[in-house]
Structure 1
Amino acid sequence: MNKTKNIAVLGGDARYLEMVKNMSKSDDIHIELVGFDQLNQGFTGAKQIDLDDLELSKLDAVILPIPGTDGLGYIETVFSDKNLQVTKEWFKKLSKHCLVFSGIANDYLINSVNEAGLSLIPLMERNDVAIYNSIPTVEGTIMIAIQNTDFTIHSSNVIVLGLGRVGMSVASKFAGLGADVHVGSRSKEDIARATEMGVTAFHMNELSAYTSQCNILINTVPALVVTNDVIKTMQSNALIIDLASKPGGTDFDYAEKRGIKALHSLGLPGIVAPKTAGEILGTVVEQIMYEQDLGEE
């Protein structure tokens, strides 16, 4: 980086502690922490500060928590009881070159950043972050499968819906553990890829034909695909693990009526591997800021 970067981290969970720990090792980064007043540990190169004491015009980046803000600009603070709010006027006080990072974005955040003429970077929507996060996501999925079944993954019948970044990793790793993996997708390319991977592939419209022998169904599709028609053909001891973003792709109410355990398992990287998840975020943030420097040269 060309000069010392001033970064404000506003709120965040255990992942952010690892992110700050790693980023603060750089001599080119100065970090101010807001919403961490209940935190006992300190970091070299980072200091705690109140929101009102930030020199907004001197910031090169603002890192908001994974959920971003709510509809009124309030920020979730795991390590503080204080209410933090970033208003549209607050964003307008930032320098035009300041990057705003968040995990995800809602309309309030998008509109506030746009009105201020700033750049918003929702980290969880980036391909590189998603690919990196697929590793702890798969490990967490394996953990959930082991904890919630009375049979081995080896030789079990596993259905994976969707062959995106997470779906591909899930299918590969469960097959590597000896499961009989079937992958459902609407994409001809995904079906071809699944076949190339050595797993059974089928079109999503055929899902009900595969579920009667299914032991574990893992959904990654953010749309209602595990419907009551699908669930009613499943065995009562089957397990559904839904990894799709809210509201998920499963009819959870019907699964409960059928006595089938259906778990909506969100945020697994932050749950099972906060250290790795934080390191991933820190690496990507630094890379983006470095690329910004190159673009300004």
Structure 2
Amino acid sequence: MLTGLHIAVIGGDARQLEVIKKLTELDAKLSLIGFDQLDHNFTGASKDQIDEVDFSTIDAIILPASGANSEGEVDTIFSNETVVFTEELVTKTPEHCTIYSGISNQYIDDIIKSTNRKLVKLFERDDVAIYNSIPTVEGTIMMAIQHTEITIHNSKVAVLGLGRVGFSVARAFDALGANVKVGARKSEHLARVFEMGMKPFHLSKLEDEVANIDVCINTIPHHIVTASVISKMPPNTLIIDLASKPGGTDFRYAEKRGIKALLAPGLPGVVAPKTAGQIVANVMAQLLREDLLNRKGN
């Protein structure tokens, strides 16, 4: 149980509702900021304006999956009001207060450094990323079906990167009967692709390997699908870029060439917000329990 914890949930989308539900069920007290237009009420949670919350009593702050932008503004789909995450706000919290966010940026990092608070970047955790790869794969399959005129079965698919998402995507398309090749740089990743029965290739050979593909799925958050690479693709190739914004694709050149290129970060929250929210909620509950036990132990 999370009895005695006071948590501020600042903004977010439908995923955040699952977090709120889980934490209130565990008896935490929640202050919901940026939820004034939410019809549903949760027992143990109050909808507040940010200046109404006593942050000196807050044990944890939960930001949305997207964190905050470079001005501190937080996405709030359940409110028309602008909510800003600031250093002044964090300074008011107790020293043990932990900040939870899907991702971070320089703005958030600077606040964490200046206030000496703990930051947990949920989407950098292996457990969250691996669980999230499930709805990501389903969303990628959906996009491939919607935006091509061929079956996945017997199609030629190049997956770039064999991280937590790339591994799941490659395996799923292979299981659906696609001819999958996977580009990576690490020798152990190339060996794993071979062991899985797919064709490995080094990313230095990317231009050669895209010459006869139907779908290119990028999971690498660096500029890798360059104009030079795109120029070697067949004109009917579909590019699905799963990397975090701004992705790893030259979208301007793809459009100029007439190749459909889709930036699709955050697919779990788009295609399966309930499941994606439950993934975050379960991990959040575990982390908050550990924090509470550690504080009691000290």
Q: TM-score range by the shorter chain?
A: over 0.9
Query: What secondary structure, in the 3-state scheme, does the structure 2 residue paired with 1:32 have?
Result: strand
Count of aligned residue pairs for this structure pair: 296
Aligned to 2:261: 262
146-155 or 99-108, which moves further after superposition?
A: 99-108
Aligned to 1:82: 81
Aligned to 2:150: 151
Aligned to 2:25: 25
Residue identity in the other structure for 2:169:
V
Deviations 1:31-61, CA, capped at 9 Å, x for gaps: 1211111111112222211211212121111
Deviation at 1:70, TM superposition (A): 2.5
Aligned to 2:49: 50
- How far apart, CA to CA, are the structure 1 residues paired with 2:109 and 2:85? 13
- Across the aligned residues of Structure 1 and Structure 2, the Cα RMSD in angstroms comes to 1.4
- How far apart, CA to CA, are the structure 2 residues paired with 1:109 and 1:232? 38
Residue identity in the other structure for 1:160:
V
Query: What secondary structure, in the 3-state scheme, does the structure 1 residue paired with 2:64 have?
Result: coil
Query: What secondary structure, in the 3-state scheme, does the structure 2 residue paired with 1:24 have?
Result: helix
Which consecutive residues of structure 1, in runs of 5 or more, have no partner in the other structure? Answer: none
Which consecutive residues of structure 2, in runs of 5 or more, have no partner in the other structure? Answer: none
When residues 71 and 258 of structure 1 are mapped into structure 2, their CA distance, relative to the original with a 3 A threshold, is closer
Deviation at 1:87, TM superposition (A): 2.4
When residues 50 and 219 of structure 1 are mapped into structure 2, their CA distance, relative to the original with a 3 A threshold, is same
Deviation at 1:83, TM superposition (A): 2.0
Q: How do 1:269-288 and structure 2 match up within 5 A? A: 269-288=268-287
- How far apart, CA to CA, are the structure 2 residues paired with 1:262 and 1:2? 45
Aligned to 2:4: 4
Query: What secondary structure, in the 3-state scheme, does the structure 2 residue paired with 1:62 have?
Result: strand
When residues 264 and 2 of structure 1 are mapped into structure 2, their CA distance, relative to the original with a 3 A threshold, is closer
Q: How do 1:137-148 and structure 2 match up within 5 A? A: 137-148=136-147
Deviation at 1:21, TM superposition (A): 1.8
Deviation at 1:294, TM superposition (A): 3.5
- How far apart, CA to CA, are the structure 2 residues paired with 1:203 and 1:275? 37
- How far apart, CA to CA, are the structure 1 residues paired with 2:292 and 2:36? 32
| 1:59 matched to 2:62 | no
Contact 2:2-2:23 at 8 Å conserved across structures: no
Residue identity in the other structure for 2:161:
G
Query: What secondary structure, in the 3-state scheme, does the structure 2 residue paired with 1:213 have?
Result: coil
208-217 or 64-73, which moves further after superposition?
A: 64-73
Deviation at 1:3, TM superposition (A): 4.0
Aligned to 1:221: 220
Aligned to 1:234: 233
- How far apart, CA to CA, are the structure 2 residues paired with 1:238 and 1:86? 41
Query: What secondary structure, in the 3-state scheme, does the structure 1 residue paired with 2:243 have?
Result: coil
| 1:127 matched to 2:140 | no
When residues 39 and 292 of structure 1 are mapped into structure 2, their CA distance, relative to the original with a 3 A threshold, is same
Deviation at 1:74, TM superposition (A): 2.5
Deviations 1:105-149, CA, capped at 9 Å, x for gaps: 122222212222211112122222111111111110000000000
Residue identity in the other structure for 1:180:
N
When residues 228 and 85 of structure 1 are mapped into structure 2, their CA distance, relative to the original with a 3 A threshold, is closer
When residues 2 and 130 of structure 1 are mapped into structure 2, their CA distance, relative to the original with a 3 A threshold, is closer
52-61 or 108-117, which moves further after superposition?
A: 108-117
Aligned to 1:206: 205
Percent same amino acid among aligned pairs? 51
Deviations 1:247-294, CA, capped at 9 Å, x for gaps: 211121221122111111111000000001111111111111122234
